[in-house]
């Protein structure tokens, strides 16, 4: 994990596998989802073909990112089993799995702990007013549902990533309240690895008619977040959503220390291609920062893993 006062910024060499894009939520800013029943599920043989190719590339993290199947859907169990099997397959082929598939039951989260080194879920914003606007048709975006996930992850000792979506109708105070809630859960369980600050970036699929969050405001938000969050939580920003090199560096100077998973495609923001590692390295080096790889689990959490997962993580730390 980078020390806040060092000149080091981290990223994860990652690849995203999407079991399905179907989602029962209809968030108006979403550029990811498809209607239930309209997105074929990825089968294990297709995933295995992808993973075999990745074994010869510089990839460590396999992010399992999925649309949400309703908790009471007849497809829920099959959906969960597909996610579990994809994680298990990734591990069997030498990768480290990180899952972000929406709210899970306590039992589902407990099971996935055995095949993931870390997991995640964005809080986005906790203000209930968004239930009347962008989240009007998104039942799983209830603030209490999202917060429950943070609590369960802490109780289960799962290294966790969460974050905020900026520019979807919240006020500045709303963001500070969401950050404060994250800080309070971390102070209780000490399980939050990273907090992502993601600026709303309009795409072609969304129906939300609002301008992008001004990336020039990000350094101020990052600086405030750094004051609110405990020092052992790393602030992450997605570099493909901060196009201006100068303002990307300003975000780093303000306290962001991680650039997330750098993969061929940003599935959540497909209209914004990732800048690849060599380009990012040059940008950072020009301002005196060093870009280094990290695993999807930070070292202080290794002891929370099963012996089998610890062996794999130890191998990656030595490689």
Please choose, from the candidates 22, 118, 112, the residue with its C-alpha nearest in 3D space to the C-alpha of residue 63.
118
Residue 123 has pLDDT above 50, yes or no: yes
Count of domains forming the chain: 1
For residue 217, being part of any structural domain is answered with yes
Secondary structure of the chain: what % helix, strand, coil (to 5)? 40, 15, 40
Q: Give the model confidence (pLDDT) of 1-11 as tens digits.
A: 434 448 999 99
227 within some domain: yes
Check: CB of residue 193 under 8 Å from CB of residue 298. Answer: yes
| CATH code, domain carrying 66 | 3.20.20.70
Which pLDDT score, from 0 to 100, does residue 215 have?
A: 83
Q: What values do phi and psi take at 304, rounded to 5?
A: -80, -10
Give the integer Cα–Cα distance in Å for 207 and 156. Answer: 37
User: Is the pLDDT at 192 greater than 70, yes or no?
Assistant: yes
Give the tens place of pLDDT for each residue, 59-111: 999 999 999 999 999 999 999 999 999 999 999 999 999 999 999 999 999 99
Residues of the chain with pLDDT > 90: what percent? Answer: 94
> Which residue pairs, CB below 8 angstroms and at least 24 apart, start in 76-84?
79/19, 79/20, 79/41, 80/104, 80/108, 82/19, 82/20, 82/41, 82/42, 83/19, 83/112, 84/111, 84/112, 84/115
∠ CA 205-210-216 to the nearest 5 degrees?
110
Residue 224 has pLDDT above 50, yes or no: yes
Predicted pLDDT of residue 129: 97
Domain containing residue 34 = 8-318
In a domain, 2, yes or no: no
pLDDT digits (tens, 9 = 90+) for 131-182: 999 999 999 999 999 999 999 999 999 999 999 999 999 999 999 999 999 9
* Inside any domain, residue 3: no
Flag whether 110 is in a domain: yes
1: in domain? no
Q: Is residue 238 part of a domain?
A: yes
Please provide the average confidence, as pLDDT, over all residues in the chain: 96
pLDDT (mean) for 25-47 = 96
Residue 214 resides in a domain: yes
């Amino acid at each position: 994990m980078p020390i806040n006062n060092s000149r080091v910024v981290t990223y994860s060499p990652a690849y995203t596998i999407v079991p399905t894009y179907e989602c029962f939520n209809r968030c108006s800013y979403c550029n990811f989802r498809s209607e239930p029943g309209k997105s074929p599920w990825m089968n294990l043989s297709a995933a295995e073909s992808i993973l075999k190719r990745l074994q010869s590339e510089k990839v460590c993290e396999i992010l399992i990112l999925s649309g949400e199947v309703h908790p009471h859907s007849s497809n829920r169990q099959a959906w969960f089993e597909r996610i579990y099997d994809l994680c298990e397959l990734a591990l069997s082929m030498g990768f480290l799995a990180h899952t972000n598939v929406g709210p899970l039951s306590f039992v589902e989260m407990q099971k996935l702990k055995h095949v993931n080194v870390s997991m995640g879920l964005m809080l986005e914003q906790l203000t209930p007013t968004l239930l009347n606007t962008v989240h009007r048709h998104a039942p799983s975006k209830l603030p209490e549902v999202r917060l429950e996930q943070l609590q369960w992850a802490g109780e289960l000792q799962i290294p966790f990533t969460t974050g905020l979506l900026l520019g979807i109708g919240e006020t500045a105070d709303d963001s500070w309240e969401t950050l404060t809630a994250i800080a309070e859960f971390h102070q209780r369980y000490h399980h939050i690895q990273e907090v992502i600050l993601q600026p709303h970036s309009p795409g072609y699929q969304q129906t939300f008619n609002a301008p992008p969050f001004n990336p020039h405001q990000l350094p101020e938000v990052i600086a405030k977040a750094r004051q609110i969050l405990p020092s052992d939580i790393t602030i992450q920003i997605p570099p493909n959503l901060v196009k201006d090199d100068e303002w990307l560096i300003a975000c780093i100077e303000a306290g962001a220390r991680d650039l997330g998973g750098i993969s061929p495609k940003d599935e959540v923001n497909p209209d914004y291609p990732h800048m690849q590692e060599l380009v990012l390295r040059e940008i950072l080096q020009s301002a005196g920062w060093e870009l280094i790889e990290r695993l999807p689990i930070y070292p202080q959490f290794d002891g929370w893993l099963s012996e089998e997962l610890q062996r794999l993580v130890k191998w990656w730390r030595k490689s």
